C-alpha cells in the first residue's frame, strides 16, 4: 500500500475513532439521564406510596377520632344523666347557672325556695339570696372564680313567699350540655343553727354554774377554816396543859382531834386552791427564786416523816445554780406535794429531790424520784385530774383526796412550767417539773411580766400522771 493510501487510512481511523468517542459519549449521557429518570420515578413512587399510607392512616385516625368523639358524647350524656339523678336524689339543693342565670335545678332546691323547678329556670341566681346580702353573695361568686369554693359560705336565703332561712352555699365548676356552667350547692342549716343556739345557752349556763360553784366553795372554805383552826388550836392547848394530868387514853383522843383536824384543814386548803384556780383567782407573785433554798426547806419538812418510815431522803443540787423566775410559795407547794407523795407511797428505799441545770447554772427541771409502788400505765391519763388517784384502793391504804397533783400541774402551767411523770409498777416513779416549757401565761399573752397572774385549772385529760393523790 502506498503512502497516500496509508494517509487516507489513518485519517479514516482518526475520524472513526472520533465518531466512536462522540457516539459513546452521547450514549453514556443518555444512559445517565435514563438512570436519573428511573431514580426520580422510584422517588416519586415512594412519595406516592408514603402519601397513600399517610392518607390511609389519616383516614383511620379520623375514623378513630370520630368513634372517640361519639363515645365521649355518650359518656357526657351518661355523666349528665348520672349527675341529674344524683342531684334529684340529693338532700341538698342543686342549682345550675350560667352567666348569672339559672339553667336548671333539682327538686330539693325548688322545695327549699317553695317554688316549682320551671319557675326557677331563667331567674337570676342572686334572687335566691335575701336582698340585704345580695352584694355579699355577688362578691362570693366573683371571689370563688374558676375552680369553685373550698369552704361553704353562709348566706340568708329568700323563699318565694318572702320568708328567710339560713343556708350554706358552695360553688363548683362543671360542663352541662357541652358548655361551661357553675353548680351552686345549697344546704338549709336552720336546724343546725337552732342546735348551736341551744348548745351555746347550755354552755353559758354551765359556765355560770361552775363560777357559782367555785365561789361557793371559796366562801365555804373560808367559813370552815376559821372554826377548824380554833378546834385545832384549843386541842393543842389542852394537850400541852393537861399532858401530865389526864389519862393517856384522853391524851390520845386529843391527839386524834388534832390529827383529824389538820387533815380536814389540809383538805379544805386543797379545795380552796382548786376553786381559786377554777375561778381564775390565783395570784402569782413572780420573782427570782433560789431553788437550793426551796429544796432544802422541803427536805427539812419531810425529814422526820421519811426517817419514821425508814426511808433515805436525799437532795442533789448543782454548783452555781442560778435563780428561776417563779412564785416562791407556789413552787415550794408543788415540790412539797411531789416529795410528800413520794414519801407517802414508798414503803422502803429512798426518795431523791434534785435539780438539773445547764452548764452555766440555768435550771432545767426539778426531779422527785422514789422507789415506791409506781403507777399502772393505764392510769397515767387519770391521776392528774381532780379527785383521781392511780388506784381507788390507795385512798383506803394511803389516804388523800386526789387534788394535790391536779393543783400542782395547774400551778406549774401558770408559772410557765410543765409537770410530767415516768413510772413503772413496783419500781417507782419519777416526777419532774420542766422549767423550759413555755412562758408564763401572762407573759405569753401580754408580752411583759406582771406582778400577778390569774389562772384556771385545766380539765382535759393529760398524758402524764402522779404517784400519789393527797397532800397540800
Q: What is the CATH number of the domain that holds 388?
A: 3.30.565.10
| CA–CA separation, 183 and 246 (whole Å) | 94
| CA–CA separation, 332 and 353 (whole Å) | 12
| CA–CA separation, 130 and 113 (whole Å) | 11
Q: Please name every residue paired with 250 in a beta bridge, in sequence order, or none if there are none.
A: none
For the full predicted model, state whether its pTM sits above 0.75. Answer: no
Both 314 and 379 in one domain: the answer is yes
3 is a domain residue: no
Indicate the pairing of strand 312-316 with strand 350-357. parallel
| CA–CA separation, 145 and 317 (whole Å) | 65
| CA–CA separation, 228 and 81 (whole Å) | 82
Helices (H) and strands (E) in the chain, counts: 11, 12
Both 239 and 323 in one domain: the answer is no
2 is a domain residue: no
Both 384 and 263 in one domain: the answer is no
Under the banding of pLDDT at 50, 70 and 90, the label for residue 433 is very high
Of 73, 127, 134, 135, residue with least CA distance to 97: 127
Q: Which of 278, 302, 318 lies at the terminal end of a domain, its last residue?
A: 278
- Identify whether the C-beta of residue 406 lies closer than 8 Å to the C-beta of residue 470: no
pLDDT digits (tens, 9 = 90+) for 299-342: 999 999 999 999 999 999 998 899 999 999 999 999 999 999 99
Of 378, 455, 363, 450, residue with least CA distance to 409: 455
3-state secondary structure of 123: coil
Please say if the pLDDT value at position 455 is more than 70: no
Please say if the pLDDT value at position 411 is more than 60: yes
Cell readout for 368 is: 422527785
Both 248 and 333 in one domain: the answer is no
* Count of domains for the chain: 3
Give the residue carrying C-alpha cell 337552732: 194
Please say if the pLDDT value at position 208 is more than 60: yes
Q: Phi first, then psi: what are they for 448, rounded to 5°?
A: -150, 170
Under the banding of pLDDT at 50, 70 and 90, the label for residue 449 is very low
- Identify whether the C-beta of residue 409 lies closer than 8 Å to the C-beta of residue 419: yes
| CA–CA separation, 374 and 388 (whole Å) | 15
3-state secondary structure of 396: helix
Both 300 and 364 in one domain: the answer is yes
- Over residues 43-48, the mean pLDDT reads 83
Both 139 and 214 in one domain: the answer is no
- Identify whether the C-beta of residue 298 lies closer than 8 Å to the C-beta of residue 335: yes
| CATH code of residue 96 | 3.30.450.20
- Domain containing residue 237: 202-278
Q: Please name every residue paired with 93 in a beta bridge, in sequence order, or none if there are none.
A: 186
Task: For residue 392, give the DSSP letter.
Answer: H
323 is a domain residue: yes
44 is a domain residue: no
Give the residue carrying C-alpha cell 422526820: 304
Helix (H) or strand (E) holding 22: helix 3-89
Helix (H) or strand (E) holding 77: helix 3-89
| CA–CA separation, 15 and 176 (whole Å) | 93
Both 427 and 367 in one domain: the answer is yes
For residue 312, how far is the Cα from the chain centroid?
A: 44
183 is a domain residue: yes
pLDDT at residue number 300:
92
Both 274 and 298 in one domain: the answer is no
- Identify whether the C-beta of residue 166 lies closer than 8 Å to the C-beta of residue 189: yes
Both 267 and 328 in one domain: the answer is no
| CA–CA separation, 290 and 323 (whole Å) | 5
| CATH code of residue 256 | 1.10.287.130
% of the chain beyond a pLDDT of 90: 26
- Identify whether the C-beta of residue 393 lies closer than 8 Å to the C-beta of residue 318: no
Cβ-based neighbours of 410, under 8 Å, separated by 6 or more? 277, 455, 456, 457, 458
Indicate the pairing of strand 153-158 with strand 164-176. antiparallel
| CA–CA separation, 421 and 109 (whole Å) | 57
- Identify whether the C-beta of residue 426 lies closer than 8 Å to the C-beta of residue 414: no
User: Please, where are the H alpha helices in 323-391?
Assistant: 328-344
Cell readout for 180 is: 361551661
Task: For residue 128, give the DSSP letter.
Answer: G
Both 255 and 294 in one domain: the answer is no
pLDDT digits (tens, 9 = 90+) for 135-151: 888 888 887 766 555 57
Under the banding of pLDDT at 50, 70 and 90, the label for residue 450 is very low
Both 149 and 293 in one domain: the answer is no
Least confident of 103-107, 327-331, 362-366: 103-107
pLDDT at residue number 389:
61
- Distances from the Cα of 178 to the Cαs of 76, 87, 175, in angstroms? 8, 18, 6
Least confident of 110-114, 168-172, 458-462: 458-462
pLDDT digits (tens, 9 = 90+) for 112-170: 898 998 888 899 999 999 999 998 888 888 877 665 555 788 899 999 888 999 999 98
73 is a domain residue: no
Residue with the larger pLDDT of the pair 176 and 87: 176
Give the residue carrying C-alpha cell 416529795: 339
Both 241 and 350 in one domain: the answer is no
% of the chain beyond a pLDDT of 70: 81
Burial of 168 (0-12, 13-18, 19+ CB in 10 A): middle
Cβ-based neighbours of 281, under 8 Å, separated by 6 or more? 218, 454
Q: Phi first, then psi: what are they for 80, rounded to 5°?
A: -65, -35
Cell readout for 412 is: 406549774
Amino acid at each position: 500500500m502506498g503512502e497516500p493510501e496509508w494517509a487516507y487510512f489513518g485519517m479514516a481511523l482518526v475520524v472513526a475513532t472520533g465518531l466512536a468517542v462522540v457516539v459513546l459519549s452521547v450514549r453514556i449521557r443518555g444512559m445517565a439521564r435514563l438512570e436519573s429518570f428511573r431514580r426520580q420515578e422510584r422517588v416519586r413512587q415512594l412519595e406516592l406510596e408514603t402519601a397513600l399510607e399517610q392518607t390511609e392512616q389519616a383516614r383511620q385516625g379520623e375514623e378513630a377520632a370520630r368513634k372517640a368523639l361519639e363515645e365521649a358524647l355518650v359518656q357526657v350524656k351518661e355523666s349528665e344523666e348520672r349527675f341529674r339523678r344524683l342531684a334529684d336524689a340529693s338532700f341538698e339543693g342543686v342549682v345550675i347557672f350560667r352567666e348569672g342565670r339559672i339553667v336548671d335545678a333539682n327538686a330539693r332546691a325548688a322545695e327549699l325556695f317553695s317554688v316549682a323547678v320551671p319557675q326557677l329556670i331563667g331567674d337570676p341566681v342572686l334572687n335566691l339570696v335575701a336582698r340585704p346580702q345580695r352584694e355579699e353573695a355577688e362578691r362570693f361568686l366573683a371571689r370563688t372564680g374558676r375552680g369553685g369554693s373550698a369552704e361553704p359560705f353562709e348566706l340568708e336565703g329568700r323563699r318565694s313567699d318572702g320568708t328567710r332561712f339560713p343556708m350554706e352555699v358552695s360553688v363548683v365548676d362543671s360542663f352541662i350540655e357541652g358548655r361551661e356552667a357553675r353548680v351552686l350547692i345549697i344546704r338549709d342549716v336552720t336546724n343546725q343553727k337552732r342546735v348551736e343556739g341551744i348548745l351555746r345557752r347550755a354552755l353559758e349556763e354551765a359556765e355560770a354554774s361552775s363560777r357559782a360553784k367555785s365561789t361557793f366553795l371559796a366562801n365555804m372554805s373560808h367559813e370552815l377554816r376559821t372554826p377548824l383552826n380554833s378546834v385545832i388550836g384549843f386541842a393543842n392547848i389542852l394537850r400541852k396543859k393537861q399532858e401530865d394530868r389526864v389519862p393517856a387514853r384522853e391524851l390520845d383522843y386529843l391527839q386524834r382531834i388534832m390529827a383529824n383536824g389538820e387533815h380536814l384543814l389540809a383538805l379544805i386548803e386543797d379545795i380552796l386552791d382548786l376553786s381559786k384556780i377554777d375561778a381564775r383567782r390565783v395570784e402569782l407573785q413572780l420573782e427570782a427564786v433560789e431553788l437550793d433554798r426551796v429544796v432544802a426547806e422541803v427536805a427539812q419538812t419531810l425529814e422526820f416523816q421519811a426517817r419514821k418510815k425508814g426511808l433515805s431522803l436525799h437532795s442533789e443540787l448543782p454548783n452555781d445554780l442560778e435563780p428561776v423566775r417563779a412564785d416562791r410559795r407556789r413552787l415550794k407547794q408543788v415540790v412539797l406535794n411531789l416529795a410528800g407523795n413520794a414519801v407517802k407511797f414508798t414503803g422502803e428505799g429512798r426518795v431523791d429531790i434534785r435539780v438539773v441545770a445547764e452548764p452555766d447554772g440555768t435550771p432545767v427541771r426539778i426531779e422527785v424520784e422514789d422507789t415506791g409502788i409506781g403507777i399502772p400505765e393505764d392510769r397515767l391519763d387519770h391521776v392528774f385530774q381532780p379527785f383521781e388517784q392511780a388506784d381507788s384502793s390507795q385512798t383506803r391504804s394511803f389516804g388523800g383526796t386526789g387534788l394535790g397533783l391536779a393543783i400542782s400541774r395547774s400551778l406549774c402551767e401558770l408559772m410557765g412550767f410543765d409537770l410530767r411523770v415516768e413510772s413503772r409498777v413496783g419500781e417507782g416513779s419519777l416526777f419532774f417539773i420542766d422549767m423550759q416549757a413555755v412562758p408564763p401565761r401572762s407573759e405569753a399573752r401580754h408580752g411583759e411580766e406582771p406582778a400577778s397572774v390569774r389562772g384556771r385549772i385545766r380539765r382535759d385529760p393529760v398524758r402524764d400522771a402522779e404517784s400519789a393523790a393527797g397532800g397540800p
